[in-house]
């Protein structure tokens, strides 16, 4: 497992304190859910991310950020997952920043992201399942720019985003990686229709409809027909980040369950004294540690630019998703009847795991990807 530097440990402690204090279920998730917030998160909290430097964690120092890497991002995201903190950190500070990095658009958007003022979304999928190469949304040349026509599904924070990164097809056929172009589309673009949807965990995603949306040539991120490169960077960062957040979800559910085992009495004894439950808790601990090791290794390889990074990212996303599912299921079961009630927080971990596990590819998608990258 990655050995953290003193600076990384300090960052980890800062993120832990901040999110355990300000990002709790009571202060954030329950609050925004219960008032029916259209964004599903608090912009004041996102602004605090900016004030602490977290929103700009991956933004280069020259452009107002911290200039840190995937390992540091993973440390923050594990705490986001542990506290179930709703925020646009993963889509904006991680995926969008990696897509924009090095492009002409970075100068425009990075300051707002680093300050916690800007929210970004990634519009990739068009069907029920994650399939980036299946992009069919058409981008046809029109004057000095392009006309976008088609639809996108499961765009997390799509209705709240100031900036939407849209994968569109400028050449080739769905299923081909060549011919995809990545565009930066602003929220008020004419012809863009947004249908905001509440997900199982109370977060928000959008269905987007592009009806002849006009964008300038300057909206292209990278090269025309060569959008697979920046899109892949964004997806790799997003998947590694989601893996780290899933580890946090697993750890948070396990911590809550272990505390309950030490408090709940049945048959005159603490239920944590029963060996069968001890065995289940021990097994869960080991699964979470394995998932954490995989997530940290994936982040480390991404930072090094290692050719094995893509493989390890998929290993981490699949393993962390499985560990989070196990932890949430065990947590609800070991809490008994109270675990099925809305009044207790353990159920939120199960809902978050279900949504986050599907984001950027579920366990089956990444298991297949591991096989393909391994030559099978």
* CATH code of the domain containing 219: 2.40.110.10
**Residue 274 confidence class, pLDDT cut points 50, 70, 90:** confident
Q: What is the pLDDT of residues 277-287, one digit of tens each?
A: 999 999 999 99
For residue 42, what pLDDT is reported? 98
Cα three-residue angle 226-230-236, rounded to 5 degrees: 130
**Residue 293 · residue 244 · CB < 8 Å:** no
For residue 95, what pLDDT is reported? 99
* CATH number, domain containing residue 99: 1.10.540.10
Number of domains present in the structure of the chain: 3
Q: What is the pLDDT of residues 46-92, one digit of tens each?
A: 999 999 999 999 999 999 999 999 999 999 999 999 999 999 999 99
- State the average pLDDT for the chain: 97
Q: Are residues 284 and 165 in the same domain?
A: no
| DSSP string over 268-302 | TEEGGGSHHHHHHHHHHHHHHHHHHHHHHHHHHHH
Q: Are residues 187 and 241 in the same domain?
A: no
For residue 266, what pLDDT is reported? 84
Q: What is the pLDDT of residues 169-223, one digit of tens each?
A: 999 999 999 999 999 999 999 999 999 999 999 999 999 999 999 999 999 999 9
Best CA proximity match to 329, nearest among 280, 292, 362, 364: 280
Best CA proximity match to 238, nearest among 376, 374, 121: 121
Q: Are residues 25 and 133 in the same domain?
A: no
Domain hosting 321: range is 229-373
Q: Does residue 184 fall inside a structural domain?
A: yes
Cα three-residue angle 187-165-97, rounded to 5 degrees: 110
d(CA 106, CA 147): 22
* CATH number, domain containing residue 259: 1.20.140.10
Q: Are residues 112 and 127 in the same domain?
A: no
Comparing 144-148, 241-245, 263-267, the range with the smallest average pLDDT is: 263-267
Q: Are residues 216 and 240 in the same domain?
A: no
Q: Are residues 194 and 131 in the same domain?
A: yes
For residue 268, what pLDDT is reported? 84
Q: Are residues 114 and 126 in the same domain?
A: no
Q: Are residues 153 and 243 in the same domain?
A: no
Q: Which of 91, 118, 145 is the last residue of a domain?
A: 118
For residue 267, what pLDDT is reported? 85
Q: Are residues 84 and 151 in the same domain?
A: no
| SS3 state of residue 68 | coil
Show the tokens assigned to 325.
Answer: 């599912």
Q: Does residue 155 fall inside a structural domain?
A: yes
Q: Are residues 54 and 143 in the same domain?
A: no
Q: Does residue 16 fall inside a structural domain?
A: yes
Q: Are residues 262 and 212 in the same domain?
A: no
- Helix (H) / strand (E) element for 163: namely strand 163-169
Residue 2 has pLDDT above 80, yes or no: no
Q: Does residue 343 fall inside a structural domain?
A: yes
Q: Are residues 82 and 169 in the same domain?
A: no
For residue 118, what pLDDT is reported? 98
Residue 3 has pLDDT above 90, yes or no: no
Q: Which of 118, 135, 170 is the last residue of a domain?
A: 118
Q: Does residue 1 fall inside a structural domain?
A: no
Q: Does residue 314 fall inside a structural domain?
A: yes
Q: What is the mean pLDDT of residues 320-339?
A: 95
From the number of C-beta atoms within 10 Å of its C-beta (0-12, 13-18, 19+), residue 374 rates as exposed
Residue 105 has pLDDT above 70, yes or no: yes
Q: Which of 225, 247, 281 is the last residue of a domain?
A: 225
For the full predicted model, state whether its pTM sits above 0.85: yes
**Residue 1 confidence class, pLDDT cut points 50, 70, 90:** low
């Amino acid at each position: 497992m990655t050995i953290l530097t003193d600076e990384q440990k300090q960052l980890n402690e800062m993120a832990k304190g901040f999110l355990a204090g300000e990002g709790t279920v009571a202060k954030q998730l329950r609050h925004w859910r219960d008032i029916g917030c259209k964004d599903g998160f608090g912009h004041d909290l996102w602004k605090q991310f900016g004030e602490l430097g977290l929103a700009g964690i991956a933004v280069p120092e020259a452009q107002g950020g911290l200039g840190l890497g995937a390992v540091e991002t993973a440390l923050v995201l594990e705490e986001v997952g542990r506290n179930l903190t709703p925020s646009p950190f993963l889509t904006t500070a991680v995926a969008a920043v990696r897509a924009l990095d090095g492009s002409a658009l970075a100068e425009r958007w990075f300051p707002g992201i680093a300050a916690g003022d800007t929210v970004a979304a990634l519009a990739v999928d068009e069907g029920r399942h994650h399939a980036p190469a299946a992009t069919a949304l058409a981008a046809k040349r029109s004057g000095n720019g392009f006309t976008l026509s088609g639809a996108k599904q499961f765009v997390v924070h799509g209705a709240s985003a100031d900036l939407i990164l849209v994968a569109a097809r400028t050449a080739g056929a769905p299923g081909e990686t060549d011919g995809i172009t990545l565009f930066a589309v602003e929220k008020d673009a004419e012809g863009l229709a947004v249908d905001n949807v509440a997900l199982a965990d109370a977060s928000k995603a959008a269905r987007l409809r592009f009806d002849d949306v006009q964008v300038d040539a300057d909206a292209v991120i990278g090269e025309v027909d060569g959008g697979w490169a920046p899109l892949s960077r964004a997806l790799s960062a997003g998947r590694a980040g989601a893996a780290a957040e899933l580890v946090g979800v697993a750890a948070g559910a396990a911590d809550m369950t272990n505390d309950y085992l030490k408090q709940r009495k049945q048959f005159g004894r603490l239920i944590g004294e029963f060996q069968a439950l001890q065995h289940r808790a021990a097994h869960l601990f080991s699964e979470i540690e394995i998932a954490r090791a995989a997530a940290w290794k994936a982040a480390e390889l991404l930072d090094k630019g290692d050719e094995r990074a893509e493989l390890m990212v998929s290993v981490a996303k699949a393993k962390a998703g499985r560990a989070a599912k196990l932890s949430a299921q065990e947590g609800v079961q070991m809490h008994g009847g109270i675990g099925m009630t809305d009044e207790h927080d353990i159920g939120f971990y199960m809902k978050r795991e279900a949504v986050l596990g599907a984001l950027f590819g579920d366990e089956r998608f990444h298991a297949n990807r591991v096989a393909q990258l391994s030559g099978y």
